Structure 1
Amino acid sequence: MSGILDDFKDAFSKRNNGLVQLIWLNVAIYIFTLLLFVTFTLFFKGSNLYYTLLSYVSLSPEPTILLFRPWTLLTYSFLHHINPIVHIFPNMLMLYWFGSILQEYIGSRRLIGLYIVGAIFGAVLAVLAFNFIPYYHQNIVRTSIIGASGSVMAVVFAAATLAPDYSFFLFLIGSVRIKYIAFLLLIISLAGSIGANAGGEIVHLGGAIFGYIYIKQLRAGRDFSAPIEAVLDFFEKLFKRKSEPKIRVAYRQKEASYSSTASSHSGFPDEEEVDEILDKISRSGYESLTKEEKQKLFKASQK
């Protein structure tokens, strides 16, 4: 068990690891809710305490409920149904497949930002649909939405918009371009939007729409995930400052200064320069680096 906890901590200590962090977070929350469900079932039989607690983090399109639980516009996207487990498994599988493509192009921070804003966009679309379309409005009180599918659809459609001809090899089918996989998922969600899981399917459609818009706007120079990236940067710097020692020994500073000078004279970038370049990759992806920054990173790898 300690090994799993060490892996979890390690995933959140690494740079440019947003995809793995999102998957770990979803799995950890799933396990936590599973333990709660089992505990309440065994010791509070007949009690609705578990579902009462779950309602405080699930998305309800009912305005009077949502008004006092605005955080549910996001928290619902990190929750999954306990039974069956097939709710979380395909979501994490698709997040890994398509997120791997996306993270390589746009960077770790933007991937996290896309996941979060995609969840909010899908939630807002569901709230609007249930409040302004009569077909959905009749079930508004009974509707409660959880699942990462809206965020995952945002990642899927962002990847399909960015690299439509990238191919996956599917068992018994062969090589399939991801634009066709995305299109099939869109059709399935559209068909399901008038079924028993209408709320969830509308969130899927919202995520798909946002994923497409996000890449189109990013190419035009507008990053809709920038506010999320700014918040993540703020907390990273905050915790980084807290973890730094307040007192440094004088001879250590001189040694670091000498090392930095020697590094710059030998043509190798110093540690601070490398950290800045790695931070830029995390925020905007490898392709955002200038030619000089790529050369510095290459030289640093030769040390």
Structure 2
Amino acid sequence: MASGGLRYQYARLNIAEKMIAINVIIFIAIGLLTRLVSPAIEGWFVLPANLTNFLSQPWSLVSYGFLHSGILHLLWNMYVLYISGRILLNLFDNKRFINVYFLGIMLGGMFFLLTDALFLQSNSVLLGASAGVMAVLIFVCTYIPNQEIRVIFFNVKLWQVGLFVVLIDLLQISSGGSNFGGRIAHLGGALLGYLYARQLMNGRDIGEGFSKFLDGLANMFKSKEKKAPLKTVYKNKASASRIKVKQDKDSHQHQIDTILDKISKSGYESLSKAEKDFLFKAGKKD
């Protein structure tokens, strides 16, 4: 009953809330596994800055977005995702949210990988949903820039929020602050969100190809329709048709035999008009 209730509650969530739930579950699961099994488990899913290491675990370009360095890191990302995700889903469907979120994670990861080639940050790794969250936030800030939201005690416009968070990252990078690679990834996600919104305003969905890829991937795991039952139904129908024809033929012959027996006993004139007509038609068919 409890698991059924949880499944029901999960099904009621929108896609942004489901993504938050998945992030929380993975955070707990990875925390338990690293403590009870091996600390090395997390290393299989973080995104390494070293290109050679990345090529040995290419899935990390997506999987890093489901890991977090601590509870505060997780809570902040999920809070921003909840707020910006609700705004996006008031405008568009689930597919658009998925496109922005995951493309933001991937572009943010690509920006991070560039740090190895440009700044030789080979020993660093990237984890966290921040790039995807930034993509969703900057998307809504770009698409409806003059929409106002409540921040503590006063209202601000979305474009002001977007500008503020991007400037924070730029200032952190320019000042040589910590988490250099993470800030770079934030900017990658922000760029994706901005470009996606701008192109969409011009009538072009840059995530269309990604949607088709995901649909194709989903179809690979769907069971194919079996044709055998259709053939069986066809055969059953054919068999039923043959049985009906045989039954009709037997009934027809039985009527003829009955009439002929009557003639042999009482003569032709004893037949009714219907019997005479039936016998006449049967004789023509034969």
Q: What CA deviation, in whole Å up to 9, does each residue of 1:25-52 have, x standing for no partner?
A: 1111111112223424xxxxxxxx31x2
Task: Please show how residues 35-114 of structure 1 align to structure 2 within 5 Å.
Answer: 35-40=32-37, 49-50=38-39, 52-81=40-69, 83=70, 85-114=71-100
What value does the CA root-mean-square deviation take over the aligned residues?
Answer: 2.6
Query: Structure 1 residues 215 and 4 mapped into 2: Cα distance closer, same or farther (>3 Å)?
Result: farther
Distance 1:107 1:202 in 2: 29
Hey, what does 2:146 align to over in structure 1?
165
What TM-score, normalized by structure 1, do the two folds share?
0.68
Distance 1:63 1:197 in 2: 19
State whether residues 112 and 126 of structure 2, in contact with CA within 8 Å, keep that contact through their aligned partners in structure 1: no
Hey, what does 1:20 align to over in structure 2?
17
Hey, what does 1:222 align to over in structure 2?
204
- Correspondence for 1:187 among 163, 167, 172: 167
Distance 1:22 1:57 in 2: 17
Whichever residue aligns with residue 200 of structure 1, its letter is G
Superposition deviation, residue 189 in structure 1: 1.2
Superposition deviation, residue 106 in structure 1: 2.2
Query: Structure 1 residues 240 and 104 mapped into 2: Cα distance closer, same or farther (>3 Å)?
Result: farther
Distance 2:78 2:43 in 1: 23
Whichever residue aligns with residue 76 of structure 1, its letter is Y
Q: Which has the larger radius of gyration?
A: 2
Q: What CA deviation, in whole Å up to 9, does each residue of 1:61-109 have, x standing for no partner?
A: 211101111111111011111x3x1100010111110111112212111
Distance 1:200 1:54 in 2: 17
- Tell me if 1:210 matches 2:192: yes
Hey, what does 2:6 align to over in structure 1?
7
Whichever residue aligns with residue 111 of structure 1, its letter is F
State whether residues 126 and 199 of structure 1, in contact with CA within 8 Å, keep that contact through their aligned partners in structure 2: yes
Superposition deviation, residue 187 in structure 1: 1.4
Which stretches in structure 1 are left out of the alignment for 5+ residues?
41-48, 251-303
Query: Structure 1 residues 243 and 169 mapped into 2: Cα distance closer, same or farther (>3 Å)?
Result: farther
State whether residues 22 and 112 of structure 1, in contact with CA within 8 Å, keep that contact through their aligned partners in structure 2: no
Distance 2:54 2:106 in 1: 13
Query: Structure 1 residues 56 and 37 mapped into 2: Cα distance closer, same or farther (>3 Å)?
Result: closer
What TM-score, normalized by structure 2, do the two folds share?
0.71
Distance 1:7 1:229 in 2: 28
Whichever residue aligns with residue 102 of structure 2, its letter is I
State whether residues 49 and 112 of structure 2, in contact with CA within 8 Å, keep that contact through their aligned partners in structure 1: yes
What percent identity do the matched residue pairs reach? 30
- Tell me if 1:175 matches 2:155: yes
Query: Structure 1 residues 9 and 115 mapped into 2: Cα distance closer, same or farther (>3 Å)?
Result: farther
Aligned length: 228
State whether residues 8 and 24 of structure 1, in contact with CA within 8 Å, keep that contact through their aligned partners in structure 2: no
Superposition deviation, residue 6 in structure 1: 4.0
Whichever residue aligns with residue 205 of structure 1, its letter is L
Distance 2:7 2:83 in 1: 20
Query: Structure 1 residues 239 and 17 mapped into 2: Cα distance closer, same or farther (>3 Å)?
Result: farther
